[in-house]
Amino acid sequence: MALKVPGDGVQQPVIGWVDAVSKIMKPDSIVWCDGSEEEFRSLIKGMIADGTLIKLNEEKYPNCYLHRSNPNDVARSEEATFICTENKDDVGPTNNWMAPDEAHAKLLKLFDGCMTGRTMYVIPYLLGPADSPYSQVGIELTDSPYVAANMNIMTKVGRVALEHLKDVGFVKGVHSIGALDPSNRYICHFPDEKLIMSLNSNYGGNALLSKKCHSLRLASVMGRDEGWLAEHMLVIGIEDPDGTVIYVTGAFPSASGKTNLTMLKPPEYMKGWDVWAVSDDIAWIHLDSEGRLRAINPESGLFAVAPNTSPKTNPRIMEMVKKNTIFTNVALSSDKTPWWEGMGEHPRKLWDWQGKVWTAGKSAGSAAHPNSRFTTSIHQYPSLSTEYNNPNGVPITAIIFGGRRSELVPLVYESFSWEHGVLMGAMLKVETTAAAAGEVGVLRNDPMAMKPFCGYHIADYFNHWLSFRSRSGKLPKIFQINAFRMGRDGRFLWPGYSNNLVVLKWIVERCRGKVEAVETPIGYVPTAASLKIDGLNITETTINELLHVDKGTWMDELESSWLFFESLGERFPIVLRQELSKLMDRLQESSSANPR
């Protein structure tokens, strides 16, 4: 099939590459995506016609759709994800490795003719503001109209990308649904070629190649080489009652509340405070000429977890997803509205995420898949930061690490230094969630929430973080938070959601030197009084429990981190070894850990 190129403005390297790939994939037709509304509607129309999408209630959820995945394809497939570099040592023990030649040979065979009978969509996308020096272009070739429609929401598709491409190169992404065969599922990254090849999955993190594959795995390697950071972080502006806004980033593992924190609606009792969203998942962070870290959001949309979002826990998100949204693997009520666990009262009649009739108390499992998602434009969010599109990004005053820990980690604490903060991030362990295939609730090392996303040796990544110390005297303060600590009765101690603004307020005030803390062996922990606020319904005993630093369990934690660091071999930075020893000494010297 001869390649037809639309109008002018498509550069020769793009044409040459699309032509070469199409000769292998052999699609019946090729559609160049322009990112228009019209194109989106036509993709949707086609998918409704062939059953890929179900149209939802137009009155209650205008322009909203439901997609049901193949049950074998509902989360990221980490075991099928590879980094392909010449030298195996460069990917480290937290990644799967495959030699580039072997990967190319294997994939060439599998990709051969895989788009026969299908349309190949050419999706030029821009990540980041149109006029930013930090933005990047990628082109994804896919046979999935679901991917094409989602990319239209998640990125800036079309001419805007091709125009940006004039100055720089582009990341190449090739994706095919194939036969959705899990035994031949591959998500391969080739950092040296700026190439991604993904086959046999149609799930977000495996198939929307702009997201984890480009914005994190490949971009993290570019960041290492060029002196910046690509992070699995939210970015928010926190406004105080004086109207001053400071920006913070937060690294939390998948499905641990990043979107909820980004879209937080202040509680009634915190008049004058607000939270402005810049990013809910990914931050590209560069040093500016004055030595400040500045973050941009490469994405234009959200692909976020639905369960537990409700008018009570997060009214702002509920409003946002009521129009122009694609839902994936949620349940469906008889009035064709979406439903998920934690949304509120259970409707009388319901179809589960696979389309089977579901009855509360009788049917097994959950009605919505625990990793069910919604895709929606970030521009629909009413509290989007006015700085969202600032080409220079927003200046970062604090970095927060977080995640799910039912014990050990206090509600919030601050590191003593940049190096100690990097250790805090490196030691991050979290309970696994449904965002990746595999067991849920298992504690695993997830340094900086980047375990599944760092495209190179994690010890080199720690070194890269440490290198910022010598490059700037204005680095952000580093904190860790944990809203998931449980009491002996197995219940969450902290009310979470909008109340998390109390924790953010403490962080803001620490950055301004306005609030006290107790020096403990692990870092600066708030005094109970500094978290007390009229309206926050929690006893002082519970606050103390949330802030408790237990010497014995911390010693166990350090030992297990030590083992993890040992497994990283010689590349593990000596500075972090020293920080860990210092932390051990401080704990050993203390009688009980919280001197209060």
Residue 558 CA to residue 541 CA, distance in Å, equals 27
Nearer CB in complex with ligand SAT: 278/576: 278
DSSP 148: H
Q: Give yes or no for residue 212 binding ligand SAT (CB under 6 A).
A: yes
Which of 217, 202, 61 has the alpha carbon at shortest distance from 145? 202
281 binds Mn ion per the rule CB under 5 A: yes
Q: Where are the alpha helices (DSSP H) in 307-394?
A: 315-320
Residue 238: phi and psi, rounded to 5, are -110, 120
Residue 435 interacts with which of Mn ion, ligand SAT, none, CB < 5 to 8 Å by class: ligand SAT
- Binders of Mn ion: how many residues, by CB under 5 A? 2
Q: What is the largest CA-CA distance in the chain?
A: 76
Indicate which of ligand SAT, Mn ion, none lies near residue 506 (CB less than 5 to 8 Å, by partner kind): none
Which residue, chain included where needed, has tokens 């920006």? 247
261: left (phi over 0), alpha (psi -120 to 50) or beta: alpha
Q: Is 204 one of the binding residues for ligand SAT (CB under 6 A)?
A: yes
The residue range among 12-20, 203-211, 309-317, 357-365 that interacts with ligand SAT, by the rule CB under 6 A, is 203-211
Residue 544 and residue 536: Cα distance in Å, rounded?
15
Specify the stretch interacting with ligand SAT by CB under 6 A; choose among 24-32, 135-143, 205-213, 461-469.
Answer: 205-213
Q: What is the smallest separation between the CB atom of 208 and ligand SAT, expressed in angstroms?
A: 7
Part in contact with ligand SAT (CB under 6 A); list of ranges 204-212, 340-348, 384-392, 423-431: 204-212
Q: Binders of ligand SAT among 67-86, rule CB under 6 A? A: 76
Nearer to ligand SAT, 95 or 530 (CB): 95
Burial 196-210 (b: 16+ CB within 10 A, else e): bbbbbbbbbbbbbbb
CB of 212 to ligand SAT, least distance (A): 5
Q: Compute the distance between CA of residue 162 and CA of residue 170 in angstroms, rounded to an integer.
A: 10
Nearer to Mn ion, 256 or 385 (CB): 256
Q: Which of 18, 435, 448, 587 binds ligand SAT (CB under 6 A)?
A: 435
- Of 438, 13, 507, 499, residue with least CA distance to 264: 499
95, 220, 254, 262: which one contacts ligand SAT (CB under 6 A)? 254
Give the x-and-dash track for 291-310 against ligand SAT (CB under 6 A).
Answer: ------------x-------
| H/E element, 111 | helix 100-111
Backbone angles phi, psi at 76, to 5 degrees: -65, 140
Q: Which of residues 251-270 bind Mn ion (CB under 5 A)?
A: 254
Per-residue interface string for the shown chain with Mn ion, residues 200-239, x marking contact by CB under 5 A: ----------------------------------------
Q: Does 211 bind ligand SAT (CB under 6 A)?
A: yes
Helices (H), 343-431: 418-426
Applying CB under 6 A, the site for ligand SAT has a residue count of 8
Helix axes 37-49, 145-154, angle to 10 degrees: 150
Q: Which residues bind to Mn ion, rule: CB under 5 A?
A: 254, 281
Q: Which residues bind to ligand SAT, rule: CB under 6 A?
A: 76, 204-205, 211-212, 254, 303, 435
